[in-house]
Amino acid sequence: MKKIFTLILFTLISTFVLAQNNYQDVVYLKNGSVIRGVIIEQVPNESIKIETADRSIFVYQMDEIKKLTKEEKTVAKIDNPTPPSEGSGLKSGYRGIAEFGYQFGLGDYGMDRLKINIINGGQISPFFFIGGGTGLRYYIDDDAALIPVFVHARANVLDKKVSPYFALSIGYTFNASNDFEAVGLLVSPSSGVTFNVSERVALNVGLSYEMQSMEFYDYDYYYGYQSGIYRKNSGALSIDFGLSF
């Protein structure tokens, strides 16, 4: 009988201890804060000392406390957690690119010009973008404004916040200063670095070479007439600054 009584008493104590382990002290402060842990010291009508799960210890005066309770511990449940993405590059979807630069003429037929591109398209993956664009080329010496229309493809090397990129634009240019007369083929390869500010926004800095096919005229100043027309490629190198959004 004595053994049975001892077993029952042990079971009751164990149950009580386990039940207590499932509860925690909760201090509700008048400023709205809630502190959870174990009260390790209490001075009646004066103060309490509570230890939180991370071993931090706080002391509060009784006039700071709204109420003291014991509450059951809760464990956050996560169903099918999704592992964090390893990449920090651009996300798929619509993307616009605005870029500008100053082009320095190269070779016998190169001419300086201001460059503006407005590109719209789709980010197919963190690595690849394709779209179409237009813009402005202002030829400073000739005081002429040309409008290019082109296809643009861009590839990022890394799925990271900072990544090298390579791009290619191919299209045709029209002379806005002369009734949008056709000028010729435009080809522009470029490379640089993309700095991803967020999943949707990035800054781009790069170098580009642009080849513009156009007609040049020979003029005989002695006789005062145009003596010939020939087509040449006008090349230029530029530093480009862009914003992707």
pLDDT per position as a tens digit, 194-236 = 999 887 899 999 999 999 999 887 666 555 555 567 889 999 9
Residue 9's pLDDT is 47
Domain membership flag for residue 143: yes
pLDDT-flagged residues of the chain (< 70): 1-22, 74-89, 218-228
Domain count for the chain:
2
Of the candidates 43, 72, 101, which is a domain's last residue?
72
Say what the pLDDT of residue 192 is: 97
Question: What gap in Å lies between CA 241 and CA 98, rounded to an integer?
Answer: 9
Distance CA 142, CA 48 (A): 84
In a domain, 78, yes or no: no
CATH no. for residue 160?
2.40.160.20
Report the distance separating Cα 238 and Cα 245, nearest Å: 22
Distance of CA 67 to the CA centre of its chain: 46
If asked whether residues 172 and 129 sit together in one domain, one would say yes
Q: Assign residue 42 the CATH number of its domain.
A: 2.30.30.100
Same domain, 180 and 237: yes
Residue 244 makes CB contacts below 8 A (sequence gap 6+) with: 90, 95, 96, 97, 194, 201, 202, 203, 204
Residue-level pLDDT at 226: 57
| pLDDT for residue 220 | 60
Q: Does 68 share its domain with 98? A: no
Question: For residue 2, what are the contacts with CB-CB under 8 A and spacing of at least 6?
Answer: none
Q: What residues make up the domain containing 37?
A: 9-72
Judge if 216 and 104 occupy the same domain: yes
16 and 122 assigned to the same domain = no
User: Same structural domain for residues 164 and 217?
Assistant: yes
**4 is a domain residue:** no
Indicate if 172 and 103 belong to the same structural domain.
Answer: yes
Q: What is the structure's pLDDT at 200?
A: 81
Tokens matching residue 182: 């056709």
pLDDT for the residue 71: 83
The per-residue pLDDT for 101 is 95
pLDDT at 75: 53
pLDDT at residue 138, as a whole number: 96
Cα distance between residue 89 and residue 107, in whole Å:
38
